[in-house]
Amino acid sequence: MAHRTPNAVELHGVTAGYGRTTVLEGVAAVLPRGRATALVGPNGSGKSTLLGVLAGVHAPAAGLLKRHHRERPALVVQRSSVPDALPITVRETVAMGRWAHLGPWRRPRARDRAVVAACIDRLGITDLADRPLGGLSGGQRQRALLAQGLAQESDLLLLDEPSTGLDTGAQEVIQRVLEEVAGEGVTVVYATHDADSALRAHHRLHLRNGRITAEAATAAPPARVPDEVA
């Protein structure tokens, strides 16, 4: 029987950027399977670019990415990336997460509708299902986008600053759901500036100037939060 690696993704000397600007340089790291990994570091450290590389939407200029997950990665964008004027309801937003399963021109099946309803319920926004996405608060909108990501039923869930700028209640809902899905075997990777959120992850990668400066597993909250988190 073939050995099954405990890692969902392995990065070996990955370099990536935009045009002549290098953002990530020689990144070597592993993402443990079925665990939550927090990407921490100051603005411009390369967190979003690393998520793009992991999502497969940004090709590395050099290095090797070894994937050991089965499904297409699910990338949850920041709520600010979605225009307010987009004429789409919460239910339609979440249903977009099923498109990869449906293929072109196929109508949603009963199971697709059930998955969408379950994801909406999991994020506590069932009463908002028929509301326009653009009319929601920041926390409600981010929960809708996370529900869309969950609806993809991927085993690799990527999130870019999922709780930045949200109130405490919305932050806790999102953090709790991320911990739940990691407990169900999904590999979760999220960029964050929040120290408490970072320390609740199983695993942390600290970035600065496009490089991994530290890697840590969380056994217990450290006495001092690393500078890169702040």
* 114/33 Cα distance (integer angstroms): 27
Q: Which helix (H) or strand (E) holds 65?
A: strand 62-67
Confidence bin at 105 (pLDDT 50/70/90): low
**Count of H helices and E strands in the chain?**
7, 9
Better-predicted residue by pLDDT, 12 or 78: 12
Look at residue 57 and tell me whether its pLDDT is greater than 50: yes
- CATH number for 1-70+193-221 (one of 3.40.50.300, 3.30.1130.10, 3.40.50.720, 3.40.50.2300): it is 3.40.50.300
**How much of the chain, in percent, has pLDDT values that exceed 70?**
88
Q: End-to-end CA distance of the chain: give it in Å, rounded.
A: 45
Among 76-85, 105-114, 179-188, the minimum mean pLDDT is found in 76-85
3-state SS, residue 72: coil
* 131/70 Cα distance (integer angstroms): 34
Task: Mark out the alpha helices in 75-137 (DSSP H runs).
Answer: 90-95, 99-102, 110-122
Compute, in degrees rounded to 10, the torsion defined by CA atoms 125, 127, 128, 131.
Answer: 170
Q: What is the mean pLDDT of the chain?
A: 89
pLDDT attached to residue 5: 79
* Token pair for 161: 């600053």
* Token pair for 187: 């590999």
* 53/37 Cα distance (integer angstroms): 15
Residue ranges of the domains in the chain? 1-70+193-221
pLDDT attached to residue 86: 72
Better-predicted residue by pLDDT, 188 or 167: 188
